[in-house]
Amino acid sequence: MTNVLELKGITKRFPGVLANDNIDLTLKKGEIHALLGENGAGKSTLMNILYGLYQPNEGEIFIDGEKKIINSPLDSIKAGVGMVHQHFMLIPVFTVTENVMLGDEKLRGGVFLDRKVVAKRILELSQQYNLDVDPDAYVRDLSVGVQQRVEIIKLLYREAKVLIFDEPTAVLTPQEADGLFEVMNNLLDKGKSIIFITHKLKEVLKASDRITVIRQGKVVGSTVPEEADEEKLASMMVGRPVMLNVDKDPSNPKDVVLDVQNLNVLDDRSQLAVDNVSFQVREGEILGIAGVQGNGQTQLVESLTGLRENFAGDIFLLGNKVTDESPRKITEFGSAHIPEDRQRDGLVLNYSITDNLALNTYYLDPFSVGAILQEEIMKKSAEELIEKFDIRTPNAETTAGSLSGGNQQKVIVAREFSRPTKFIVASQPTRGLDVGSIEYIHARLIEKRDAGTAVLLVSSELDEVMQLADRIAVMYRGEIVDVLDAKDATKDLVGLIMAGVNPAEAKEMVKVE
Amino acid sequence: MTNKEKESKNNKSSISVFFDEVSRSSWLVPILAIFSGLLVGGLIVMFTTDEMYILIGDGQIFEGLSLGFRAMVDSFVALFTGSFGSPTKIIAALQSGDDLLIRRAFNPFLESFVASTPYIFAGLAVALGFKTGLFNIGAEGQLFMGAIFSVWVGFAVKGLPAIIHIPLALLAGALGGAIWGFIPGWLKAKTGAHEVINTIMMNYVAFRLSEYLLRGPLMRPETFTPVSPMILESAELPRFFESPIRFHLGFFIALFVAWLVYWFMFKTKWGFDLRTVGANPRAAKYAGMNIVRSTILAMVLSGALAGLAGANEVLGVNHNLALAFSSGYGFDAIALALLGKSHPFGVVLSAILFGFLRNGAIRMQIVGIPVDIITIIQAMVIIFIAAPAIVRSIYRLKEPKESDEQTFVTSWGAN
């Protein structure tokens, strides 16, 4: 097999940071090469260099054996390299055809867009690669999986030979992910080559031909799936042995802490986002809510924490009716909340860690005496929490915005878990975090459960829900369609229900297989 | 490498570290912006000198340019003597020993502080709004309301000793501004009506209301000009020197209020509420803060501070209320709050700068430079401040270390 792409000695320095340190990477024709690494390891920098967004300080790029200088995404597309971004670059109100031709418009008579020619080409590509995309559909009407295939068609239309997939499965159900892997194999059969960026170890082992692991800007090893397993890859990524499987005893549920009755919540566009949901969470158990993003989980959590008004139904916390109570009241009843978007909701980025740690207790004794803030006491308490929760920071006065994602999340966990709590809502608690931080957060959640706290875990990472939850509620289009005991739930079964298959049918389907 | 060499290398690196720090510092940008603003203003003076073009047209290019340059230098000299006083006059006056001459020589300098005083109050008003994520364009209107309230207390409430009358008149001014701030604050919090629109409209209401009152109920009885009666002597803010120096207690009250605002915003839990709502309203809501209450409180306080600016002018300088008496303190305050990075102490410094520029401008007018040049200089300073990227690129400064470039207003279009 020939090398379709070679990166030689790529070095990229940012002020104070060596993002890429002499990285070599080769991609053979017709292979899937997985690039594995934690957030901040330098994967994105490397790919942005390949995609022409950054210029390397040192190193060379060869495509088909020919040295190329890539100064812009345009150069990279010309050289046959294309990228499927994690967040799709599609315009919802345009058709597939219009999206595909965007930036490379075919004109009729020099003035008018020639949609027909492009649509015909899209159909050809769709059939050739078995992508099943309708050129005339509006993107807003397509499912996420199909939108991703539109992104792929965009690259094929521009005759890319090398396709870079950046965390492509983050937005997919397990079944959709399997569909994507099939598409990737079709692409290989037709002579394309793929770089697959991910932090999901299972997928790497399942889908790739070769694996390169990057840590702190350096290539720390290359391997093939046959010779690797999850533990080995994880410890290569992190640089130390990692506990991948959460160690926990069976749960010991006691009294009901949270009781949700026939809850209905509207979203920002006044559409019903949570549809008549009822469930309970007990002391000492973790109820996991599984579901593809955007099925009402966000609105459910906002309603439970007082951030969003209810439309109908009731919420009881420790027997107190908290429907439409203020967030402060709900917090004072003993509720803690790890919000889904830590930078938007959970932190004030230009505040110090000290202020962020006191964000919902600043007005209470001992942090306020009368109306006066007790800065020394706040700082001392912050220093204790930094120590206890292992927040990596120069000092307590550092702003939250200058911390890494993992440490920002630790600030939130430290704040929420250091109060006496009876109920915790953890919404996407490990999104975008590295393996080490995920391990840490999971351990803290289990610790809280074992201490008798009721935990509601909302996550779009099915693996996370499967690992942590004692019971799994599956949300689909605003409804909780089924609640499974964790020991009866398999990934296939939950995946099917997440995708909208009737739970009874899904159970049959899984049995037959 | 010998020890000495090592040492010198260390020194060198510590010097470069020092320059690194300086060039990243957030205070360098305002200073360079002021410098750039003055420079651009000076060049405008030079290139609007008609005689320069006449000379150049006659082929005397060098003479023309040097004339233009002299015009620029003259205008800076006028700006300096107008705001600081003329050093030669000061020396002469001190030598003569004549009290009146000495007072006259020092008057420009002290008069600059008189001009700075309403700027401090109004700047604090706008800055407090910015810190809470609110864009109070209504400082001018609130200032008018403060002036109306305090002038009324000043002339209509009789028989009080100064120790009661002065605070009462000041508080009345604060109340007038607070009412004018409360209305848009309440509208914003309860209905979402944007404060920028509403404060602008409230300005017009305040201007026309003051005109109506000055032509009607508040008009000085014996005259037919739209001027209020003089306030009683017991309501006048004491002046420290005899005529012509107008420097009065208001300046020190302004400094005290600036400290009070600092203490309130940074040392109390209420200030923490307001700052958090301004820095990240979503996180504030998440943390259980009451956004409605904070918004209204911030507008009330902001209005009260602007009202104090009006009261200060009435009680300390004019001793009555005339039409259009403020000439834009409330609008300039927006710019100087930006310049002071919305921090009370920064506001004091930039208010003093604006006071000196404003006072110096009067002197520039006497030497034939239009007062508009000062407006242009102020505008240039603001443009350079508002776009730190321009200053950074002109002077090749490094990016600031952290994201300490603050956003002043989060509400406009943000949600």
Tens digits of residue pLDDT in B151-168: 999 999 999 999 999 999
- Is a pLDDT exceeding 50 seen at residue B2? no
B268 and A373 within 8 Å at the Cβ level: the answer is yes
- Is a pLDDT exceeding 90 seen at residue B13? no
Of residues A108 and B283, more confidence is placed in: B283
Chain B residues whose beta carbon lies within 8 Å of the beta carbon of residue A326: 288, 290
Helix B28-47 and helix B372-386: axis angle, to 10°?
A: 140
For residues A59-79, average pLDDT: 90
Q: Classify the phi-psi angles of A495: left when phi > 0, otherwise alpha if psi is within -120 to 50, otherwise beta.
A: alpha
Amino acid at A477: R
CA distance readout (Å), B118 to A67, A222, B109, B186, B365 = 67, 69, 16, 26, 22
For residues B160-180, average pLDDT: 97
A331 and B288 within 8 Å at the Cβ level: the answer is yes
**Cα–Cα distance between B144 and B122 in angstroms, integer?**
11
- Is a pLDDT exceeding 50 seen at residue A150? yes
Q: Which tokens belong to A138?
A: 């509006």
CA distance readout (Å), A291 to A312, A491, A504 = 22, 12, 17
Q: Classify the phi-psi angles of A239: left when phi > 0, otherwise alpha if psi is within -120 to 50, otherwise beta.
A: left
- Is a pLDDT exceeding 50 seen at residue B12? no
Q: What is the mean pLDDT of chain A?
A: 90
Q: Edge-to-edge strand order for the sheet containing A320-321?
A: A272-282, A256-266, A312-317, A320-321
Angle at B60 between CA B55 and CA B63, to 5 degrees: 80
pLDDT tens digits along A158-182: 999 999 998 888 777 788 888 899 9
pLDDT band at A287 (very low <50, low <70, confident <90, very high): very high
Q: Which tokens belong to B89?
A: 């006059």
Cα torsion through B234, B240, B246, B247, rounded to 10: -110
- Is a pLDDT exceeding 50 seen at residue A460? yes
**Cα–Cα distance between A125 and A149 in angstroms, integer?**
11
Whether residue A366 is preceded by a cis peptide bond, meaning omega within 30 degrees of 0, is yes
A345 and B290 within 8 Å at the Cβ level: the answer is no
Burial class (CB in 10 A: 0-12, 13-18, 19+), B36: buried
pLDDT tens digits along B30-81: 788 888 888 888 888 888 888 888 888 888 888 889 988 988 888 888 889 9
Residues of chain B numbered 262-301 and touching chain A (CB < 8 Å): 267-270, 272-273, 276, 279-280, 282-290
Buried b (16+ CB within 10 A) or exposed e, A324-360: ebebbebbebbbbbbbbebbebbbbbbbbbbbbbbbb
Amino acid at A127: Q
Query: Which pLDDT belongs to residue A328?
Result: 94
A368 and B269 within 8 Å at the Cβ level: the answer is yes
Angle at B308 between CA B305 and CA B310, to 5 degrees: 120
- Is a pLDDT exceeding 50 seen at residue B347? yes
- Helix ranges restricted to H, B268-343: 269-279, 281-286, 291-312, 329-339
Count interface pairs A-B at CB distance under 8 A: 72
pLDDT band at B324 (very low <50, low <70, confident <90, very high): confident
Angle at A106 between CA A101 and CA A108, to 5 degrees: 140
Indicate the SS3 state at residue B227: strand
- Is a pLDDT exceeding 50 seen at residue A8? yes
**How many percent of chain A have pLDDT more than 70?**
100
- Best of A325, A362, A408 to disrupt the B interface (most B CBs within 10 Å) is A362
pLDDT tens digits along A209-252: 999 999 888 999 999 999 988 888 888 888 888 777 777 888 88
Q: Which residues on neighbouring strands pair with residue A81, listed in sequence order?
A: A162
Interface of A with B (CB under 8 A): 15, 305, 307, 326-329, 331, 337, 339, 344-351, 355, 359-360, 362-363, 368, 371-373, 375, 399, 401-402
A375 min Cα distance to partner chain B (Å): 8
Confidence (pTM): 0.80
CA distance readout (Å), A330 to A303, A321, A335, B65, B189 = 11, 10, 6, 73, 22
